[in-house]
């Protein structure tokens, strides 16, 4: 009923030349693996090259952020219209690294999400608790609140283009992974929050990914969970063999 989506988030890695070579290598490895959608979210300067290299393959291309204004005096920022014009289909919004290092808040995440959806982009909305919040037993409240704030004013119709990525911050790039049960439970909390906001049917049809040190060794177990509908993958998306193994796990 809901689509499994395996997405790579390259973060600040790969040049255009490396992007071209990577996709040329990956495409034949994942050809025909159509039980999940395959997305690569790449640095802005790599997008045009990635879109060209992915033409005719089952790989879709996304950005890693987008600004909320249509245009204007925002030095260094990129608008949704600019992304669309070069063939970008997806955009990651609210990644914890943006929140942690670049002052992103639920309010700006919400603005970016609405701007991206209005332009026709598919949004991968990231949220998740930090270590202290999990240790203090308030994970459920934190992710429910983020879900509500980040989606303020997003319509049920627009939600068809929203994927949620549950990324516990303590698991990102640390080699620590949420256990499959923890991932399932917290994705379940997000799904129940969506049901509160939009009704059960929409909640059941929304893709909720897990992200945080997902790799070729743990993907199958995580993806087997009922509330985990895919993965947002950092480090392991930079190696074609590891990324392919995760996609394979989603196709078995």
Per CB under 6 A, residues contacting ligand 13P are 9, 95, 167, 172-173, 211-214, 232-236
Q: Which two tokens stand for residue 198?
A: 């939009």
| Smallest distance from ligand 13P to CB 213, Å | 4
Please, what is the minimum distance in Å from the beta carbon of residue 91 to ligand 13P? 13
95 labelled catalytic: yes
From 97, 104, 133, 167, active-site residue: 167
Give the chain's radius of gyration (CA, Å). Answer: 17
Which residues touch 85 (CB under 8 Å, ≥6 apart)? Answer: none
Q: How far is the CB of 52 from ligand 13P (least distance, A)?
A: 24
User: In angstroms, what is the minimal distance from the CB of 75 to ligand 13P?
Assistant: 26
CB closer to ligand 13P out of 203 and 233: 233
Nearer residue to ligand 13P within complex by CB, 100 or 155:
100
CB closer to ligand 13P out of 74 and 102: 102
Give CA–CA dist 40/91, Å, rounded: 10
CA atoms within 13 A on the CB side of 154: 29
Minimum CB separation of residue 6 from ligand 13P in Å reads 12
Residue whose CB is less far from ligand 13P, 54 or 235: 235
Indicate which residue of 64, 95, 104, 129 is catalytic.
95
**Can you spell out the DSSP letters for 84-101?**
HHTT--EEEES-HHHHHH
Burial 108-140 (b: 16+ CB within 10 A, else e): bbbbbbbbbbebebbbbbbbbbeeebbeeeebb
Between 6 and 117, name the residue whose CB sits nearer to ligand 13P.
Answer: 6
- Give yes or no for a contact between 106 and 155, defined as CB atoms under 8 angstroms apart: no
Hey, which bits of 100-241 come out as E strands? 122-127, 162-166, 208-211, 230-233
Q: Give the H/E segment covering residue 6.
A: strand 4-9
Catalytic residues: 95, 167
């Amino acid at each position: 009923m809901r689509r499994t989506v395996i997405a790579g988030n390259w973060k600040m890695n790969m040049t255009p030349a490396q992007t071209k070579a990577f996709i040329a290598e990956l495409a034949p490895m994942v050809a025909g693996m159509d039980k999940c959608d395959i997305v690569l979210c790449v640095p802005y300067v790599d997008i045009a090259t990635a879109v060209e290299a992915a033409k005719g393959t089952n790989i879709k291309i996304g950005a890693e952020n987008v600004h909320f204004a249509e245009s204007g005096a925002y030095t260094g920022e990129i608008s949704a219209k600019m992304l669309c014009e070069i063939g970008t289909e997806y955009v990651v919004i609210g990644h914890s690294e943006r929140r942690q290092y670049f002052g992103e808040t639920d309010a700006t995440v919400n603005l970016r999400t609405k701007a991206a959806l209005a332009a026709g982009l598919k949004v991968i909305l990231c949220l998740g608790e930090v270590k202290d919040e999990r240790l203090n037993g308030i994970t459920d409240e934190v992710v429910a609140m983020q879900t509500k704030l980040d989606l303020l004013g997003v319509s049920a119709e627009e939600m068809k283009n929203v994927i949620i990525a549950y990324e516990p911050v303590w698991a990102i790039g640390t080699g620590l992974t949420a256990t499959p049960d923890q991932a399932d439970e917290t994705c379940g909390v997000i799904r129940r929050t969506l049901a509160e906001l939009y009704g059960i049917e929409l909640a059941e049809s929304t893709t909720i990914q897990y992200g945080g040190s997902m790799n070729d060794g743990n993907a199958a177990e995580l993806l087997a969970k009922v509330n985990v509908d895919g993965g947002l993958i950092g480090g392991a998306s930079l190696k074609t063999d590891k990324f392919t193994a995760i996609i394979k796990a989603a196709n078995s």
